[in-house]
Amino acid sequence: MQVGSSASAHPSAVSPAPSVGTKGGPPRTAHPGTLEAEQKYLAAVRKQLADVAGCLAMKLVKLEPGNPMAAQLQLRLEILQRFDEKLGARPEDVSVKAH
């Protein structure tokens, strides 16, 4: 006979997977208002990423002029800005803070 933890190894003892929408951001449901909220959330995240990328590129350029990594970061920032423009974001929403 087995005694101890063998009962907890049974598949029925495993906890169920978390439901969709439990990891940050707005929960996902079929409500139209929720879709709009999720789109606003994603737009805000994109803006934050653009700001961070811009600041990192500017700092790298100031610290190490001519560094190829700075040029690559600036190129990625421009691509992100163009992507946001295609999605309807206004250019001032995706502005890069130089300070």
pLDDT at 42: 92
How many independent structural domains does the chain possess?
A: 1
Round to whole Å and give the CA distance between 5 and 25: 37
- Which has the closest alpha carbon to 56: 46, 47, 68, 69? 69
pLDDT at 23: 58
Whether 50 contacts 81, CB under 8 Å: yes
Q: Which domain holds residue 84?
A: 45-92
Tell me whether residue 57 is in a domain.
yes
Residues of the chain with pLDDT under 70: 1-32, 87-99
Identity of the residue numbered 93: D
pLDDT at 67: 80
pLDDT at 45: 92
Tell me whether residue 35 is in a domain.
no
Round to whole Å and give the CA distance between 55 and 70: 11
Tell me whether residue 52 is in a domain.
yes
pLDDT at 90: 54
